[in-house]
Structure 1
Amino acid sequence: MRGMTSQFLGLVGVALAVTFAAPLSYADPPQRTDPWPGLVQDIFNNRTMDDGTGVISIEMPSRAEDAAIVPVTLRTTLPSGDTRHVKSITLVIDENPAPMAAKFKLGEAAGVSEISTRVRVNNYTMVHAVAELDDGKLLMVKTYVKASGGCSAPAAKTADEASKRLGQMRFRQFAKSTDAPASGAREAQLMIGHPNNSGLQMDQVTHLYVPALFINELRIWQGDKLVLAMEGGISISEDPNIRFSYISNGAQQFRVEAKDTDGRVFKGEWPAESSAM
């Protein structure tokens, strides 16, 4: 018995020696896969992108106050003497369920250099803005945003309130504060009453998911010339609100046409105010 006890104690001593000789091992937390390379393939067909710093910028709060209405501003500035123009800007929220938030097409002679809107952000995420120039070159910038739950946040308005305002539009025009009126530079703001349901929100009464319903096409003309078009997704916030800069072309009228995923078409017309303030 004494021999067995000595043998047992010896084995315990060896085990303890091994345990304390080596640090405790814990499983490493799983590393999150960066979704951006896959998004480059899916959205941009793996096209080469260059650093867009100095040509395009993206402005968002680093920590969102409300993940369902996060402000974002996109700006473009081509170097003096550069005769190219920006054809489109694609906004990608990497960790959102549908990452491509919007693709903005810019009218060739519209002079759009700034676009602001509000988006839903579902997780802590990198956000990319990709500008395509008319020579086919892609330029990319990115920023990091801390937010959570924006795509599933309940709507601010009830279904009845939203239905009463469905498709209602407001259009405002302003003189661009950084330019003299003679330059023709202006700003305008379009607001559309629409729930822009993401499909991830739950009805607080029935506890059923509200079907996705959102503005997926938008076009704004100055006279017969396109100023701005948008291909939208579920990441654009409730009651879409878009503010943009443009160059007045002397046309007498603005026209807007929007379509949603149920096939509804909403239209509006407003006189162009050349001296808008």
Structure 2
Amino acid sequence: MTRLLLAPLFVALSVGSVAAQDRPNPLIEGETWAYLAPSILGEVTPAPAGDALALDAPVRADDAATVPIHLVQPAGGPPLHGMTLVIDENPSPVAAEIAFGPALMPLDFELRVRVNQYSNVRAIATTGQGEVLMAGAYVKASGGCSAPASRSPEEATAGLGEMRLRGFGEAGDGRQEAQVMIRHPQFSGLQRDQVTQLWIPAHFIERIEVYQGEEMLFTLTGGISVSENPVFRFRYVDNGAPGFRVMARDTEGNVFEQTLPKQPAT
């Protein structure tokens, strides 16, 4: 089940989880992964995540440029130190490399990505004990990386780096839930200006860091597969800090940094 809460600028995300064995769109065998796996994993063979980690994604995406991906663990799931998110058939298959802090465990984390053609989407996670697990889903979507931006290049870059925080209050498991949003066009280099028909140069956020006070919640190194105006929704253990410190750096060398005061549920 997918529920999207629409706002004037950003989209709020929440996707329900289903058990891995009941997933309607499990990973499928394909030649692309056989080719990619050695360059991403080396000689490591990940174990199926089973119930330790689920990747929830729509069977058929409503919008290939904004596909919601929900990464979730059950209570008592093994702590995860890092994760590589792979979209097999995208021009740049490694969509993001993410490190998580203890306050996000067990993981309940969501973001939006571009899917360029029917593809497996994989989460390859490393546990605190060094075990490598893989979860994923097969998503029917096409054209996400070349889809036109929602606005002209000039309009899309207005307010570049603007950040917002939305609080959702207590999540039902004793933790808080929040959403961090960053204004950025995330130009992929595969899009055309709809007026001039000229190619728009690639310009995207390559590094994001989110801290609760001085405590790291997560860091993300990404590329063209992270959607326009990135949105990250997550559950966390509140450490009492008054706000989140967010830093983003893009491929043009722009650095955006802001402290966002925590807010009551809206």
If the TM-score is normalised by the length of the shorter chain, which range does it land in? 0.7 to 0.9
Distance of 1:107 and 1:206 partners within structure 2: 44
Quick one: which of 157, 160, 180 aligns to 2:154?
160
Alignment correspondent of 2:43: 46
Q: 1:204 Cα shift?
A: 1.8
- Opposite residue 144 of structure 2, the aligned amino acid is G
Structure 2 match to 1:72: 69
Query: Is residue 119–residue 140 contact of structure 2 (8 Å, CA) maintained in 1?
Result: yes
How far off its partner does 1:221 sit? Answer: 0.5
Q: Check 1:192–1:34 CA distance in 2 against 1; reply closer, same or farther (3 A cut).
A: same
Residue in 1 that maps onto 2:7 = none
Aligned letter for 2:220? M
CA drift of 1:97 comes to: 0.3
- Kept in 1, the 8 Å contact 2:121–2:136? The answer is yes
Contact 2:153 2:193 in 1 (8 A): no
Instruction: Report the structure number with the largest CA radius of gyration.
Output: 1
Paired residue for 2:34, among 37, 40, 43? 37
Match of 2:128 among 126, 134, 139: 134
Matched with 1:60 is: 57
> What is the match of residue 207 of structure 2?
217
Q: Distance in 2 between matches of 1:62 and 1:118?
A: 15
- The offset of 1:112, in angstroms, is 5.5
C-alpha displacement of 1:205: 2.3
In terms of fraction of residues, the more helix-rich structure is 1
Tell me what 1:88 maps to: 82
Q: Partner of 2:158: helix, strand, or coil?
A: helix
Flag the 1:143–1:33 CA change in 2: closer, same or farther, 3 A: closer
Aligned length: 238
| Contact 1:111 1:246 (C-alpha < 8 Å) held by counterparts | yes
Write out per-residue CA displacement over residues 232-255 of structure 1, whole angstroms, 9 at most, x where no aligned residue: 110111111111111111222310
RMSD over equivalenced CA pairs, Å:
1.8
**Partner Cα separation in structure 1 for residue 241 and residue 145 of structure 2:** 39
Instruction: Determine the structure 2 residue equivalent to 1:8.
Output: none
Q: Residue 118 of structure 1: which of 101, 112, 130 is its match?
A: 112
Q: Which amino acid in structure 1 is aligned with residue 88 of structure 2? A: D
Where do 5+ consecutive residues of structure 2 fail to align? 1-28
Q: 1:177 to 1:33 in 2, by over 3 A?
A: closer
Report the 3-state secondary structure (helix = DSSP H, G, I; strand = E; otherwise coil) of the residue aligned with 1:37: helix
TM-fit CA distance, 1:126: 1.1
* Residues 1:262 and 2:256 aligned together: no
- Structure 1 position 33, deviation (Å): 6.0
- Hey, what's the Cα distance between the residues in 1 that align with 2:166 and 2:106? 16
Task: State, as a whole percentage, how many aligned pairs show the same letter.
Answer: 44
Q: What SS is found at the alignment partner of 1:54?
A: helix
1:253 matched to 2:243: yes
After superposition, the C-alpha distances for 1:136-170 in whole angstroms (9 at most, x for unaligned) are 11100121111111100110011121121211111
* Displacement after TM superposition at 1:271 (Å): 2.5
Q: 2:183 aligns with which of 180, 193, 200?
A: 193
User: In structure 2, what is the equivalent of residue 150 of structure 1?
Assistant: 144
Query: TM-score, normalising length from structure 2?
Result: 0.84
Which residue is equivalent to 1:272? 262
Structure-2 separation of matches of 1:87 and 1:40:
20
Secondary structure, aligned partner of 2:211: strand
- TM-score (ref. length: structure 1): 0.81
